[in-house]
Structure 1
Amino acid sequence: MNAPRTRVQRRPVHGVLLLDKPLGLSSNDALQKAKWLLRAEKAGHTGTLDPLATGVLPLCFGAATKFSQLQLDAAKTYEAIALLGATTTTGDAEGDVVQRCDVDPAQLTPERLSAVQRQFTGPIRQVPPMHSALKKDGKALYEYARAGVTVEREARDVVIHALNLTLVFTDQAQAAIKIIVTCSKGTYIRTLGEDIGAALGCGAHLTFLRRIDTGGLGVERCITLAQLEAMPEDERVDCLQPPESLLAQHMRVTLDGDNTARFLSGLRRRGEWPDASAVAVFSEAPAALLGVGHIKDGELVPDRLLSPLEIQQILEGTPHLQASGILEKL
């Protein structure tokens, strides 16, 4: 007879966990594991990372979930290896080989790689792969693919902000292309690898994919699930970045007490501020994130606000700040 499962006592947790997602784990599975380890009440991720990819996956907890869309929309940087000379059904090493082609490394000169690099830099169009979570008639494309059905997909506009291609060789002396790419949301790196292989005339598929940055949050700042699990439970929450870590690209505005209360109630405030489409708004004393907004013609307009309770809980979890009575002050 199985022992009864112990019910986890959830708690309010606010912040961002910069996770180095392991190979083979879905983004949601990684999120649920971290949520369990932190005993968090509310959590969400900032866009999926393929199970076969590793790297930066910001996980948002509590109040930080209100800003998760910002990371979903942010530019991403990936490092990938595309093995030349073979295409597969999935565009990566998990699929069956569809076609093989001889590869002559001598023809893969720096000049040729540079030309292909320029070809795929800037605005480009991509046909989404069949093995993706995009939906057609309410059904994910990968479900069609698993059933052996190929459906028509429209090409989508994406932007390759920066691209670097380098000829490398595997341990088995096979020619491959190392790809470092910074791209807009919606870019499929597997498709990019396939298209680069096609442009080189020999085909390719990904054998390695790692996200090394998203919206300025680099992999060097990340922690693994194994590291988090090995910590004493009361230390795990210390690994969280504050919610405002997602707002590094926002203009900062600080409001005094009266304006803080009015802003939190959803009222617009006037001031001598320049127009700005993205503003992170803070209270003066105590210093606390209130939410985000935008400024038009000297008017600060609330877009997404934290609740007074969320602000109090964040301050109570911040050393050296007195949060008592914050609900009354705000």
Structure 2
Amino acid sequence: MFHGFISIDKPPEITAHDCVSKLRKLLKQKKIGHGGTLDPMATGVLPIAVGNATRLLRFLPSGKAYIAKIRFGLVTNTDDITGEIVRDRPCSNLNLDTVKDLLPLFQGKITQRPPAFSAIQVDGKRLYDLARRGEITEADVPMREVEVQKIKVLGWTEGEYPELDVEIACGAGTYIRAIARDLGEKLGCGATLSGLRRTFSNGFDLEASLTFDQVAEKLRSHSLEVLAPDHGLHFLPEVTLDAEQTKYWCMGQTIKLVKLEVCSQFVRMYDHEQKFVGVSEVNESVLQPIVVLSPIN
């Protein structure tokens, strides 16, 4: 039985839910969950919690980073290249300098309208289900505020439908498809997302990620090691308990500390042997257990 995280390098054409199902079959474990959706077209980092680590998913940091390819001159109903083309306007005269001038508009705290074909829920229903049935259009999707920390130009390909390669760092809820769509609208030629690879998500990066083939091979050779349950939680302050406090903690009791100087709502908890034992909520000098885990050797 595994307890921890596996960062999957998601292949194209499958959903995050598909990845969870595939990993359940490989590991022969049911208690598995993912740390956020990733469009079927996209590839890259998908953190997946296994065993008791599923209880820690809600504490993972929200930051994400992508390498995106934006194609100008095409507009689709899904805002990416997999959708139906609704406008085709070649723009071979478009140049990189013109595009660069507009990129600052998409950095910082911005408002964007998520794509109609998205996993967002409205009244318990997924938007993409409503969009497929024609019950909702993009204009019906409410605007929301998101944050984009960085947009860095990586490359430019000229042509009838020029393409821009960019690196984007952003917060939770940011749709790269919406950035591509809105950039195309600002330029007057339209645009759609033609490629997307996530390089960082919720504290996990590509370097620590495995393909499904790699997971399967490591299982065959009995060499699969999952990432520690606290792998993505190092942004949280930590508290180390003594032996007596550890005993009370493991029984789910609150811990009162004489001096506790943290500026976070939650903290990582370690026992007297420096083994991770869960997450607590800070209430002045009292630590309230939220997730209590057995120490993993």
Q: Mark yes or no: TM-score above 0.5.
A: yes
Is 1:279 aligned with 2:267? yes
Identity of aligned residues (%): 31
Partners of 2:145 and 2:11 in 1: CA distance: 29
String of CA shifts for 1:74-133, please: whole Å, max 9, x gaps: 111111101011111111111121112232456431xx4343221111111111211112
Residue identity matched to 1:301: Q
Is 1:24 aligned with 2:1? no
Corresponding residue of 2:42: 53
String of CA shifts for 1:270-298, please: whole Å, max 9, x gaps: 1323123131110113x321111244443
Partners of 1:83 and 1:157 in 2: CA distance: 24
Partners of 1:168 and 1:248 in 2: CA distance: 37
Report deviation, 1:167. Answer: 4.9
String of CA shifts for 1:187-232, please: whole Å, max 9, x gaps: 1111111111112221110110111001332112111001112234
Check conservation: 1:19, 1:55, Cα contact below 8 A: yes
Partners of 1:22 and 1:131 in 2: CA distance: 20
Alignment RMSD:
2.0
If the length of structure 2 is used for normalisation, what is the TM-score?
0.91
Q: Residues 132-143 of structure 1 correspond to what in structure 2 (within 5 A)?
A: 132-143=118-129
> 1:236 and 1:147, CA in 2 relative to 1: closer, same or farther beyond 3 A?
farther
Partners of 2:155 and 2:134 in 1: CA distance: 34
Is 1:258 aligned with 2:244? yes
Partner SS, residue 222 of structure 2: helix
Of 181, 185, 208 in structure 1, the residue corresponding to residue 195 of structure 2 is 208
Of 112, 121, 128 in structure 2, the residue corresponding to residue 126 of structure 1 is 112
- The structure with the larger Rg is 1
Of 31, 36, 41 in structure 1, the residue corresponding to residue 25 of structure 2 is 36
Unaligned runs of 5+ in 2: none
Of 69, 76, 81 in structure 2, the residue corresponding to residue 88 of structure 1 is 76
> 1:137 and 1:259, CA in 2 relative to 1: closer, same or farther beyond 3 A?
closer
Partners of 2:112 and 2:253 in 1: CA distance: 41
Aligned residue pairs: how many? 293
Q: Residues 150-299 of structure 1 correspond to what in structure 2 (within 5 A)?
A: 150-151=136-137, 152-169=140-157, 174-233=161-220, 235=222, 237-238=224-225, 240-264=226-250, 265-277=252-264, 278-285=266-273, 287-299=274-286
Partner SS, residue 179 of structure 2: helix
Is 1:67 aligned with 2:56? yes
If the length of structure 1 is used for normalisation, what is the TM-score?
0.82
String of CA shifts for 1:4-45, please: whole Å, max 9, x gaps: xxxxxxxx3201001101111111111121122122241111
Partner SS, residue 198 of structure 1: helix
Unaligned runs of 5+ in 1: 1-11, 316-330
Corresponding residue of 1:101: 89
> 1:251 and 1:138, CA in 2 relative to 1: closer, same or farther beyond 3 A?
closer
String of CA shifts for 1:239-281, please: whole Å, max 9, x gaps: x101010211111211111011112322122132312313111
String of CA shifts for 1:291-311, please: whole Å, max 9, x gaps: 1124444333323222x4xx3
Partners of 2:175 and 2:18 in 1: CA distance: 21
> 1:26 and 1:107, CA in 2 relative to 1: closer, same or farther beyond 3 A?
closer
Segment drifting more, 131-140 vs 221-230: 131-140
Check conservation: 1:276, 1:295, Cα contact below 8 A: no
Residue identity matched to 2:74: A
Partner SS, residue 230 of structure 2: helix
Partners of 2:35 and 2:185 in 1: CA distance: 31
Check conservation: 2:254, 2:286, Cα contact below 8 A: no
Partner SS, residue 160 of structure 1: strand
